């Protein structure tokens, strides 16, 4: 017996379908990495990994060293940590063959020292910022690194990467600008795999694919092409119960703070879903639920375990 009010269903078949759709967009020599950071976007790393692994995913990215340890228990394939590794994590990462994404010259120095200590070349990924201003070596650090190759002594650069900032906005000028900056960098590392495209970048110019792409949200069913209908298959379904329906009159208020006033007589549905379930309180008065494909707008504030929406039998002309 299932006593839960709300049920979240994850369709691993859809994960596999989406991953293969992304592969079909790329040339055969382009690797499509699996990004399973944040517990595979909150859906469960181990199960999502199994879906990707069964479809020959060759390379994995996580955000933290702790996530990398979980993933290393599952696979011997390359695992890279996007946020880098620090201190005592470095020796453990070397032992477990976990690869760092190096985002700064300070990290270059840390890994160079580790290579000298262990007397082995260490595989690394160099991340260059080309316009995101988030992670990665900026223009000054990049120039310094390129002018002094001795800084990379003992490091085996396997991948050079950057990250698009606006690829989800069709025609945004930042995207080709980042591509040009990144292309200039890749020529400095002819033996390394180049990786630039995120989910939306995969659906852009094929030149953006290089040797590896790193789709994230598209694998999990989110739309990488907001200007068109979603090409990805939905992965997550959230279902819940209607606890009560009622008729309410024009002029009456709904929920805490009386934040919504009805503009006509309406059928309301009280639903077993709230911010305690992770449903955002910021969706108060803005979000929409669906009953048999009929939209049911949320009215008033989202409470801890319940919210109120326009009922499933409301008239389509409702504008309240």
Q: Which residues are catalytic?
A: 37, 256
3-state helix, strand, coil in the chain (%, to 5): 35, 25, 45
Length in residues, the chain: 320
In angstroms, the Cα distances linking 120 to 96, 110, 127, 155 are 14, 14, 22, 9
In angstroms, the Cα distances linking 83 to 51, 170, 293 are 24, 28, 40
Extract the tokens encoding 6: 């709300």
Note whether 126 and 162 are within 8 A (CB): no
Extract the tokens encoding 112: 């160079």
**Strand-pair partners of 156:** 123
CA distance 211 to 213: 7
Nearest CA-CA partner of 281 in 268, 300, 253 = 300
CA distance 33 to 78: 10
Q: How far is CA 254 from its chain centroid?
A: 35
Extract the tokens encoding 149: 């190759």
């Amino acid at each position: 017996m299932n006593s839960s009010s709300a049920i979240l269903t994850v369709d691993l078949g859809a994960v596999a379908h989406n991953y293969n759709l992304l592969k079909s967009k790329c040339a055969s020599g382009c690797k499509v990495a699996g990004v399973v950071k944040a517990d595979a976007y909150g859906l469960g790393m181990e199960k999502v990994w199994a879906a990707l692994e069964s479809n020959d995913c060759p390379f994995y990215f996580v955000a933290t060293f702790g996530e990398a340890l979980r993933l290393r228990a599952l696979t011997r394939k390359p695992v890279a940590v996007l946020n880098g590794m620090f201190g005592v994590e470095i020796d453990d990462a070397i032992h477990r063959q976990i690869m760092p994404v190096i985002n700064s010259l300070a990290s270059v120095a840390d890994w160079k020292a580790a290579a000298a200590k262990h007397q082995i070349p260490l595989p690394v990924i160099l991340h260059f910022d080309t316009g995101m201003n988030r992670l990665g070596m900026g223009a000054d650090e990049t120039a310094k690194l390129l002018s002094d190759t001795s800084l990379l002594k003992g490091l085996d650069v396997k991948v050079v990467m950057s990250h698009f900032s606006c690829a989800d906005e069709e025609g945004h000028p930042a995207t080709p600008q980042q591509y040009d900056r990144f292309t200039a960098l890749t020529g400095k590392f002819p033996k390394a795999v180049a990786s630039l495209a995120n989910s939306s970048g995969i659906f852009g110019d094929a030149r953006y694919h290089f040797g590896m792409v790193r789709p994230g949200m598209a694998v999990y069913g989110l739309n990488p092409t907001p200007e068109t209908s979603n090409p990805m298959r939905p992965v997550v379904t959230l279902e819940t119960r209607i606890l009560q329906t009622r008729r309410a009159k024009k002029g009456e208020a709904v929920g805490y703070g009386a934040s919504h006033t009805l503009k006509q007589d309406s059928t309301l549905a009280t639903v077993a879903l709230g911010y305690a379930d992770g449903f955002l309180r910021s969706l108060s008065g803005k979000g929409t639920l669906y009953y048999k494909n009929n939209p049911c707008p949320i009215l008033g504030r989202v409470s801890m375990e319940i919210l109120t929406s326009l009922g499933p039998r409301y008239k389509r002309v409702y504008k309240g």
